[in-house]
Amino acid sequence: MENAFIGLPLKLRHIQCFIAVAQLNSLQRAAERLSLTQPAISKTLAELEALVGAKLFERGRRGAALTPDGRAFAPYANACLGSLRDGIGKLSASRQPVPATVALGALPTVASVLLPEALRRHRADWPGANIQVVIGRNIELIERLRSAEIELALARLGDPEAMAGMNFEHLFREPMVAVVQAGHPLLGLGVLTAESLGGYPLIMPPAGTLIRQSAESMIAELGIVTPAGTLESLSVSLNLAVTLHNDAIWFVPSSLVEHEVASGLLARLPMPAGGTDEPIGLIRRTDIALSPASASLLDALRQVGLGRERRRVGAA
């Protein structure tokens, strides 16, 4: 039987166009990336769909979304273009090597916990790779993944609608704790009450974040609504400095202050209820294959994250 692919007038521009629209979910943004007009993008996609005999995108007011056939085709299109780039890189390696680049997103409350060790491991296999780290809130990181600005994100599991087309790989759970400076008056009280906490400023994650909900659940057990005068910040360095030089109560993921608690600079308050253990993991798009350098970093993050979870479970 004759191979149907033989003689198929499929061109590189068809694959480039498909990948750009799949990554950006927008014909207009794909046109800007490829320095083409939007009609040219539409025409190229129409040609590709005619060639493969399947509808690859659904176009609507929210942009262009891959159809089931499009999602099935995407890994092969990425592999095709990736193989071509690798081949060109092999030919040019002796003349002008092009370093690999990995674009990673991370929550500010997680980056300093996993990245230092993961980057050390990754560098052993990819010493010349450039790493671009974007720090942002959970929903911002998912949007950057959707627009292909980053390849993977170290973040929390989002709501089902935001996670459509995404894969979440759980690494570890992150309990919320309340900490104060050593010698804080509340440390000698034993049982905490709404009245005893009421006289001290709180440092909380910003409204709208998942860890803010966890912090609020802790103080709700004491019958407290977040009071006026609360400092809202995700800056670890700022919050630590304020806690060490004031009588503030800082609600923070436990891993961010484990060294300060162990050294005695900070102490955990015995809250009547702990915060929700938020699942932390790796998020990436299901329709785009990772580059070898990105896959190596993902594996390093996986090893460090799962190691942290094993230690936490063992300690518990």
pLDDT, tens digit, 9 for 90 and up, residues 76-101: 887 777 777 766 666 655 555 557 78
Nearest to 138 by CA among 105, 102, 114: 105
Contact between residue 150 and residue 141 where contact means Cβ atoms under 8 Å apart: yes
Band (pLDDT 50/70/90 cuts) for residue 261 is very high
Contact between residue 153 and residue 282 where contact means Cβ atoms under 8 Å apart: yes
Name the β-bridge partners of 156: 280
pLDDT at 5 over 70: no
Is pLDDT larger for residue 82 or for residue 67?
67
Mean pLDDT score, 5-13: 70
Mean pLDDT score, 193-220: 83
Q: Which residue has the tokens 């300093």?
A: 112
Mean pLDDT score, 47-57: 90
Non-local CB neighbours of 55 within 8 Å, separated by 6+ positions:
49, 67, 69, 70
Nearest to 226 by CA among 207, 247, 253: 207
Structure tokens at 160: 């089902």
Phi and psi torsions of 200, nearest 5°: -120, 145
Structure tokens at 245: 């030089």
Output the pLDDT for position 274.
61
Over the chain, what is the mean pLDDT?
83
Helix (H, G, I), strand (E, B) or coil at 212: helix
Q: At what angle do helices 68-92 and 12-24 cross, to 10 degrees?
A: 120
DSSP state of 253: E
